[in-house]
Amino acid sequence: MTLYRLDAPDIALSAPVVIAAFDGWIDAAGAATAATELLAERGPALATFDGDLLFDFRSRRPTLDIIDGTLTRLEWPRLELSRYTVEGRDLLILTGAEPDFRWHELASSVHEICLRLGVVEWVSVGTIPAAVPHTRQVPILATASAPDLLHHDVTQGPEGLLRVPAAALSTVELTVSESGIPAVGFYGQVPHYVGGPYAAASLALLEHLGQHLGVSLDGGEFAEQATEQRQRLDAAAAADEDTRAYIERLEGMMGVDRIPSGDDLAQEIERYLREQGGRGER
């Protein structure tokens, strides 16, 4: 039984690149999927994946709309591949819920789709919690399957071994890159004290994606949302001396080329996962 349906297997594409993000882990503040969903909304779906095979609906329950006492609509977790053409370049946006099951089959299926559509590059995007202040630009860490794939000024690291819980996204990327398709990843660092969406990270990811691909990606309302959130966070910090002092310490730790150590990242990731588990969130 196949995991997906490809609606246009013979479509002609121009140097297609897959841009992928799943919710949950790695998607702190939902910023990575917010960015990819914005792009996915701008074009039609090319492939859909079978949610009955991929998701545990008791852990990731569908949303039920009840209108005037009548059960009206169910919104199911989904995973889709959409096409967004910008400046003559075809971007294939793979985004949605992180699957609970069949990660190996998912990776093989996505790899098969990449070969059928002639994909020339894979780009993973994500966000991770970090000890960074909201008062500075969102730092972006990058990964690459080969050293010459990163075309603009971006921080690659950290050096040495970093061992963290894996995401389904990483499973898929490894399968794709091991077949010879070049792969890079961009991961925004989200201040660990921010709760809820963080538009500044979504905007930063889109800017780095655009620089890497050589196209202009409209950030929609993210810029306005980021400015409003910055003002709220500034006001909250100004009203509390301990918070203000903590943010000042974080600012002092920031340098132009500061790369968090593997231990720093691992500690933040472990703390984030503990908090998510305590809330019962995915």
Each residue of 57-102: pLDDT tens digit? Answer: 999 999 999 999 999 999 999 999 999 999 999 999 999 999 999 9
Task: Count structural domains, the chain.
Answer: 1
Q: Is residue 166 a part of any domain in this protein?
A: yes
Which pLDDT belongs to residue 240? 86
Mean pLDDT along residues 51-61: 95
Name the residue among 63, 84, 83, 90 with its Cα closest to residue 74. 63
Q: Is residue 20 a part of any domain in this protein?
A: yes
Of 33-37, 64-68, 278-282, the least confident: 278-282
Q: Is residue 2 a part of any domain in this protein?
A: no
Report the distance separating Cα 278 and Cα 282, nearest Å: 11
Name the residue among 147, 148, 152, 139 with its Cα closest to residue 210. 152
Q: Is residue 3 a part of any domain in this protein?
A: no
Q: Is residue 272 a part of any domain in this protein?
A: yes
Residue 88's domain spans which residues?
A: 14-279
Q: Is residue 195 a part of any domain in this protein?
A: yes
**Which CATH number is 138's domain given?**
3.40.50.10900
Check residues 19 and 241 and name the one with the higher pLDDT. Answer: 19
Report the distance separating Cα 202 and Cα 196, nearest Å: 13
Each residue of 176-232: pLDDT tens digit? Answer: 999 999 999 999 999 989 988 999 999 999 999 999 999 999 999 999 999 999 999
Which pLDDT belongs to residue 280? 41
Q: Is residue 4 a part of any domain in this protein?
A: no
pTM: 0.87
What is the band of 253 on the pLDDT scale with cuts at 50, 70, 90?
A: confident
Contact 119, 92 (CB under 8 A): yes
CB atoms within 10 A of CB 194: 18
Q: Is residue 26 a part of any domain in this protein?
A: yes
